[in-house]
Amino acid sequence: MLKTIPRMRIEAAKDVFELIGNTPLLQFRKLTTPFAPVEIYAKAEWYNPGGSVKDRPAREILLTAEREGRLHPGKVILDATSGNMGIAYAMLGAAQGYRVTLCIPANASPERLRILRAYGAELILTDPLEGTDGAILEARRRYEADPERYFYADQYNNPANWKAHYRTTGPEIWEQTEGRITHFVAGLGTSGTMMGVGRYLKERNPAIRLIGVQPDGPFHGLEGLKHMATAIQPGIYDPDLLDEILTVSTEEAYAMAQRLAREEGIFVGISAGAAMAAALKVAARLREGVVVTIFPDAGYKYLSESFWLEEDR
């Protein structure tokens, strides 16, 4: 049985900016039955208007830049992305009348590329073998070549990224669990989610354990996540904040995404599968506790992935 904790929503919103946040917290009982009485919850971030958790930092980055005068009419929003952050920029940029240029690995899922083009974003496809690091280097090159043209959002080094989660995601989790959370599990990409939520939760209760999730090697199929030991580490990433890092293989993430769809009726993306796999590993060693993780997006942007058709996983 799936339990949904009610959330508050704005009844009438003037634009997409006001629709971001206040996402549901979901509890899973079929997958976690072997670990009772441990409770596992996940934030359903696909409820954001752009379909992912990245709407939160994108909004914070753009609004902060506007307040500080770094983003104004005539500037082009520029950044590197694996997909979801780019979709958030493209959506919010369209709403505000900004052009958006995104550097993105050429092997990003076709669904993501089509969504980005639907919003009117200019796409610079980078070497898929270089992953998001290659996209980052290309974005830096373009900005350095023409700094007057671009507002370089720089999600990997922009403190507005983690502050968005400190101000919204963290407080939501605290309130939705009534302060009972004992463990927070989140994938590491830009690391903004973990840095922001983690700082907020540690302030409320230093005993809460923070567990980061990363791929088990540099070559992987977990879009949006980084193998920190071999990748360009984001400037906002502070490994000392974490209590632990767990690794998840691409195959584990695929299998868990399938299980969530077929056993819980929750259709999520690959990084959500990785997050749930890690959350179950944490739960397996507890006698009691409240484990919360993040489901960054739904599975619709990954339908072209062949694993959805493989029945033997």
Both 42 and 118 in one domain: the answer is no
Residue 173: pLDDT over 60: yes
**Residue 86 maps to a domain:** yes
Both 123 and 244 in one domain: the answer is no
Both 296 and 277 in one domain: the answer is yes
Both 83 and 128 in one domain: the answer is yes
**14 part of the active site:** no
Identify the active-site residue in 52, 82, 191, 271.
271
Of the ranges 114-123, 124-133, 237-246, 270-279, which one carries the lowest mean pLDDT score?
A: 124-133
Going from the C-alpha of 43 to that of each of 103, 298, 310, the distances in angstroms are 28, 11, 27
pLDDT band of 41, cuts 50, 70, 90: very high
**Residue 157 maps to a domain:** no
> What pLDDT was estimated at residue 2?
45
End position of a domain, from candidates 109, 130, 152: 152
Q: Which of 72, 78, 116 is nearest to 96 (CA)?
A: 72
Residue 311: pLDDT over 60: no
Both 238 and 269 in one domain: the answer is yes
CATH number, domain of 238, equals: 3.40.50.1100
Both 186 and 295 in one domain: the answer is yes
Average pLDDT over residues 170-196: 98
**Residues above pLDDT 90, as percent of the chain:** 82
Which residue segment(s) compose the domain that 286 sits in?
2-53+162-309
Residue 43: pLDDT over 90: yes
CA dist., res. 9 & res. 6, Å (int): 10
Identify the active-site residue in 43, 54, 163, 226.
54
Q: Give how many domains the chain has, as a whole number.
A: 2
End position of a domain, from candidates 134, 152, 170: 152
Residue 25: pLDDT over 90: yes
Both 291 and 190 in one domain: the answer is yes
**191 part of the active site:** no
Residue 313: pLDDT over 50: no
Both 200 and 131 in one domain: the answer is no
